[in-house]
Amino acid sequence: MKLLVVEDEALLRHHLQTRLSDSGHVVEAVGNAEEALYQSDQFNHDLAVVDLGLPGVGGLDLIRQLRARGKAFPILILTARGNWQDKVEGLAAGADDYVVKPFQFEELEARMNALLRRSSGFIQSTITAGPLLLDLNRKQASLEEQPLALTAYEYRILEYLMRHHQQVVAKDRLMEQLYPDDEERDPNVIEVLVGRLRRKLEGPVGFKPIDTVRGLGYMFNERCR
């Protein structure tokens, strides 16, 4: 399994990387949220371990950003705060389980293995809406069983809209999916990309699943499954 460990305490990070590697996992260990987001964009992970007390962008915000980018792998949080409010807040942000510091490695490993077993049977590999199918593993789309030639940005917009089907998605949220580190965001780029995407989806079958919600953003109007 490929794991992402996000822990700012160097000794604990090294310890976790060593023990998990010894257990047969491939481990990417980083010390802050920025590095974690970069690694998650570059590689497919099976599970992430995230410390809530990260410097700068905290663990809760990191988890929210990972989920907003469509990362569906299980997330186990490490927290030095054992009160129930912090645990609930972490789970509400998108985490799947938690371990309170200090902890025994055996407990951490047992909880990780339980999450991996649970997720292995339920990770969604496709999204469908009428004649449209997204292959989430291959990052490919097909319409009426024919491949759609989408650019990487067009695909990312389509996947995000389908994951949030029948919800209004603001242009700013779509911009964050394409350019998470760019402060100079031009919403006109989204209009151009959505326009091209609509033309490709409409094609010969007249499929029109993307509505413009004036002044708010876009909505994928078809129910996805």
By percentage, how much of the chain surpasses pLDDT 70? 95
Mean local confidence (pLDDT), 45-58: 94
Q: Is residue 72 very low, low, confident or very high in pLDDT (cuts 50, 70, 90)?
A: confident
Architecture of domain 2-120 in CATH? Answer: 3-Layer(aba) Sandwich (3.40)
What's the pLDDT score for residue 131?
A: 94
Mean local confidence (pLDDT), 1-9: 93
Mean local confidence (pLDDT), 70-78: 92
- Bridge-based pairing of strands 47-51 and 146-148 is unpaired
What's the pLDDT score for residue 164?
A: 85
Mean local confidence (pLDDT), 41-68: 93
Encode pLDDT of 79-117 as tens digits: 887 777 778 888 889 999 999 999 999 999 999 989 988
pTM: 0.55
Closest alpha carbon to 75 in 110, 113, 49: 49
Map out the domains of the chain as residue ranges: 2-120, 126-220
Q: Is residue 195 very low, low, confident or very high in pLDDT (cuts 50, 70, 90)?
A: very high
Write the DSSP string, the chain.
-EEEEE-S-HHHHHHHHHHHHHTT-EEEEESSHHHHHHHHHHS--SEEEEES--SSS-HHHHHHHHHHTT--S-EEEEES--SHHHHHHHHHHT--EEEESS--HHHHHHHHHHHHHHHHTT---EEEETTEEEETTTTEEEETTEEE---HHHHHHHHHHHHTTTS-EEHHHHHHHH-TT-SS--HHHHHHHHHHHHHHHHTTTT---EEEETTTEEEE-S---
Mean pLDDT across the chain: 89
What's the pLDDT score for residue 173?
A: 84
Which option is the CATH number for 126-220: 3.40.50.300, 1.10.1530.10, 1.10.10.10, 1.10.630.10? 1.10.10.10
Encode pLDDT of 116-154 as tens digits: 888 765 555 788 999 999 988 778 999 998 999 999 889
Encode pLDDT of 159-178 as tens digits: 889 988 988 999 988 887 77
